[in-house]
Structure 1
Amino acid sequence: MQRESRTGTFKVSHETIVNPVVRENEDDHARAFADAQPFRHVVIDDFFDRAYVDQLLQEFPAFERGNFIGDDGHAGGKSTVDAMARLGPAYRRLDEVIQKPAFLDYIGRITGIEGLLYDPFYLGGGTHENRDGQPLSAHIDFNYHPSERWHRRLNLIVYLNHEWEERWGGLLDLYRDPYADPEPAKSIVPLFNRCVIFETTEHSWHGFRQICLPPDRPGLSRKSIALYFYTKDRAAEETAGRHTTHYVNRQLPAHFAAGHTLTAADVSTLHDLIGARDGQMKMLYEENSRLLQAQDKGFAGHVLYLLKRLYMRYRRHTAHR
């Protein structure tokens, strides 16, 4: 199958965008994925053809074009665009390629997961941009497609940052158990054209520390493309009840122990951790309030109110018998 682009005719295939050297090392990547800890993943450098990935960066959308308004109604430090096919020729080409059986089978051979499905809605995916000061708490992702009965199976992320240093934060952190471990089991620098593919499970905990860019890099941000893949079926032992994204705030650093004298940096860390927990509790309280208020509205809410009254009267009656 061929389509016409602004630069001429090209075959719509993963072979037109994935680096030939990467394709040649498919078996190596499959072994790395299978053996990786703390959960199955693989890091592939120079993933896309160089000319093609340069075009993706050129067409990357402006921060203000994306969804950068948080749940609280205020502008935040993260912006996402899920309408990738409308961003330009390179993104339209990407959208065409990743839905083809050839590409899905290629990723399936690396990961050992057959029957992968492309998400035409890019729910949660698309282009991601994170500015200075933005963190992402360790989390596992929602496990079912919001509108289809598909199991979420893989995240594929390609980074578009020509320069990034470990001390700037923003590394992709992979955790064994963020409830118990103060530090990630592995951290991956989000370097240009680096691809990370990891399995989405009930223990694929990931996130990144707060981005702290130096003063001489005021316009820099963390850019990436996130693609999510699904299957119609999944082994029963790997499934769980439907849930949303599950976040866990950072634990105290390991050096916070009896006898340790707090430094100014330690105090700042404590303020950040307490603030994050307060913010999460406030968000959960507000979400619970909205659900309760929604229940009170309309005919169904009135029926629920009457049922609750009957139940409480029954409880009171039986308590005095």
Structure 2
Amino acid sequence: MNRSDDDFISIRGARLPLRALLDPRIRDAGFVASLRRRLERAAPFPHLILHGLFHPLLLEQVSTEFERVPADGWRAYRNRHERTFRASPLALPGPASRLYFGLVNSAEFIRFLCRVTGSDALVVDPDLFGGGLHESRNGGHFGIHRDFDRHPQTGLRNRMVLLTYLNKDWNGDWGGELELWDSEQRACVTRVAPEFGVSLLMLHGPTSYHGHPAPLRMPAETARRSLASYFYAAPENSAAAGETTTEFLQPMLRHAFTWGTIRLLRRWTPPAIWDAARRLRRSWNR
């Protein structure tokens, strides 16, 4: 991955415009406000279906990197609830996938998510627990489920997940639509086709049930591919837990007074008090 000039980054010969890797509308207050209104009205639980959030050239490069994951780099999940594959999130296969996850974990993107969802603060996970590169192959499925509540290592509360799909020329006859179910777990309310360039933001909650439960019916050489990133809530009342400004240990007496002022204070201060103050200052400086 090399910077070709100030405006582009080059990956395997593809020139990706730096300023357009993310949809520039995420900086527009009106666009953000419209997304927030959509989020509030979404059913069966808060979610957003977004088109063109990431530059298509970047997503094309990420898609090719799925082929660079070695066979032993995929972890297979095969049980009665799911038949899926996930690549090790700590071994991203190339520069494009690293660039994508760098973008979604960037300060600019987190500010965008906070403004859209009304979150005060979000915490990213550089280890991509539960995230990274996801793939379902012919016959694959993922039962209707609700995501985990807490990160197993940090204990932070799961706030939301962002999925981005990488499937060009997706055939609806193959199945694979992500189904968002009602709170009673009885029926699908919304379906999201896993088409190239579609991103889905889902807020986590007690009723955020989703999945693609029907086995995929597609050619053996085809795969349903997506990228997943989770975002977490900062600890509650973290601002009240301690100071939010820097506290210096070394006293600043010598900068607060001129030497003339110090000489005057020494003249009128009893020697015993002055000596005690000097010993105290020495103990601070150790």
Whether the TM-score (by the shorter chain) exceeds 0.5 is yes
The AA in structure 2 aligned to 1:228 is Y
Structure 1 segment 104-123 matched on structure 2, within 5 A: 104-123=110-129
Partner of 1:64: 71
Residue 201 of structure 2 is aligned to residue 194 of structure 1 = no
Asked if structure 1 preserves the Cα contact closer than 8 Å seen for 2:44 and 2:183, the reply is: no
**Distance in 1 of aligned mates of 2:176 and 2:78:** 22
Asked if structure 2 preserves the Cα contact closer than 8 Å seen for 1:151 and 1:234, the reply is: no
Partner of 2:98: 92
- Bigger radius of gyration, 1 or 2? 2
Partner of 2:230: 228
Q: Compute the displacement of 1:95 (Å).
A: 3.0
**Distance in 2 of aligned mates of 1:129 and 1:40:** 25
Partner of 2:177: 171
Partner of 1:5: 2
Q: Taking structure 1 as reference, are residues 22 and 96 closer, same or farther at Cα in structure 2, changes over 3 Å only? A: closer
Partner of 1:205: 209
Q: TM-score, normalised by structure 1?
A: 0.63
Asked if structure 2 preserves the Cα contact closer than 8 Å seen for 1:68 and 1:77, the reply is: no
Residue 46 of structure 2 is aligned to residue 40 of structure 1 = yes
- Deviations along 1:6-44, one digit per CA (max 9) or x if unpaired, are 5455699x9542123565533222221121011100000
Q: Taking structure 1 as reference, are residues 224 and 212 closer, same or farther at Cα in structure 2, changes over 3 Å only? A: same
The AA in structure 1 aligned to 2:221 is G
- Deviations along 1:243-277, one digit per CA (max 9) or x if unpaired, are xxxxxxxxxxxxxxxxxxxxxxxxxxxxxxxxxxx
Partner of 2:140: 134
Asked if structure 2 preserves the Cα contact closer than 8 Å seen for 1:175 and 1:206, the reply is: yes
**Distance in 2 of aligned mates of 1:71 and 1:132:** 13
Asked if structure 2 preserves the Cα contact closer than 8 Å seen for 1:17 and 1:48, the reply is: yes
Percentage identity across aligned positions?
Answer: 26
Asked if structure 2 preserves the Cα contact closer than 8 Å seen for 1:38 and 1:176, the reply is: yes
Aligned length: 225
Please say which of residues 91-100 and 145-154 is displaced more in the overlay.
91-100
Q: Which consecutive aligned stretches of 4+ in structure 1 deviate over 4 angstroms post-superposition?
A: 6-12, 21-24
Q: TM-score, normalised by structure 2?
A: 0.70
Secondary structure of the residue aligned to 1:233 is coil
Asked if structure 1 preserves the Cα contact closer than 8 Å seen for 2:158 and 2:231, the reply is: yes
Secondary structure of the residue aligned to 2:158 is strand
Residue 162 of structure 2 is aligned to residue 153 of structure 1 = no
**Distance in 2 of aligned mates of 1:11 and 1:178:** 49
List alignment gaps of at least 5 residues for structure 2: 10-17, 238-286
Indicate which of 20, 23, 42 corresponds to 1:19: 23
Q: Compute the displacement of 1:93 (Å).
A: 1.6
Q: Compute the displacement of 1:206 (Å).
A: 0.6
List alignment gaps of at least 5 residues for structure 1: 236-321
Q: Compute the displacement of 1:162 (Å).
A: 0.3
